[in-house]
Amino acid sequence: MCQLAESQDVNFTQTLSEPLTIGSHIICTGTPSEDIPWFAINIGSEELEAGRSDISVHFNVRQPQCYVVRNTRRRGKWGPEETTAYRLYPFKVNKQFTIEIVVDETETLWAVDGDHYCSYVHRNPSPFTARWIEVTGIRDAFLKISKTDNYPTLAPERPEISLTTSIDNPPETEQPVWKPNLIATITKGVPEGYQLVITGRLRPMLHSFAIDLMDGAREWPLPNIHLHVNVRAHVESQRDRQLVVLNAWLGAWGMERRQRTARLIPGTLTTFRIVRGPTEWSIYADDMLIGELEHRASPGGVKALRVRGDLYPQRIFLCPATSTPIRD
């Protein structure tokens, strides 16, 4: 299936020639209008009827508030709104954007200008029952509906993480400018006895962030995650240590390991080190051990790093783990 549609009107609807399936890929380009404070992309089912039709996914960009709402409407009633995103608000008045949407088995994934922005778990009605896509509130809209085996298709080339001789010797090759919410490749993996070093600044209003070691440098199809490190400062934020959640995704999430072990100071430059041991991954924050997770899949399969959330990397490299950090 490949459908194309374009319109200079601020509202238009494209009827689907066949149902959406896993891997259905929707690209929408357009320009937010100065005289309209919001715009929306709706994936709808049943016959289109203003204000009443079921909407599987409502992607509503609210310019004055600078956030994006996702929701579902069934039988005329809206569900709870979702607003969490993986990156800062990306839209500007009179600046053209490109939104990519891919349909997965359990969710839709949304990217803006090549960077993953958010995901939305299927509700009832599911996008698999959709009959039309509506674009409203933007100028010069263009819509393309096709299939893909990769997402986001507009993602920039993934940087490669450099290897160096020790933590005290920076890589000889020039470091890339590390963007927030990055994915980087580790082509030769993380050998046993080596460590991945990530130095970055924590957001002053620290909420949460995640560091993932994955078997592929992509967002979708969903890669296996050998190690998921999720630091949650917002959970019981009055306590002096932040919650660290460790897990792995190997087709599904495994058993979580939770411990309140991180003593991070918001707004500061912090160094995280992930050490590959014989049987486990060890995670350190400024030389303090904050968690360990046993290998749940062959560690040689790790080929990529993903960082999401309130950690803004400035330096990333791979080197031998030669020192013995403090255990608390």
Hey, what are 2's tokens?
């490949």
Is 249 a residue whose pLDDT tops 90?
yes
Average pLDDT over residues 145-169: 94
Q: How far apart are CA 214 and CA 224, in angstroms?
A: 6
Domains of the chain, with CATH numbers?
A: 11-147 (2.60.120.200), 183-320 (2.60.120.200)
Angle value at C-alpha 41, between 154 and 207, nearest 5 degrees: 70
Q: How far apart are CA 113 and CA 32, in angstroms?
A: 14
Q: What is the pLDDT of residues 99-155, one digit of tens each?
A: 999 999 999 999 999 999 999 999 999 999 999 999 999 988 999 999 999 999 999
Q: What is the pLDDT of residues 49-90, one digit of tens each?
A: 666 789 999 999 999 999 999 999 999 899 999 999 988 899
Sheet of strand 280-285: strand arrangement: 162-163, 311-320, 194-202, 269-276, 280-285, 288-294
- pTM value? 0.90
What integer pLDDT is reported at residue 326 of this predicted model? 45
Q: Which residues of 171-207 are buried (b: 16+ CB within 10 A; e: fewer)?
A: beeeebebebbbbbebeebbeeebbbbbbbebbeebe
Hey, what are 144's tokens?
């393309």
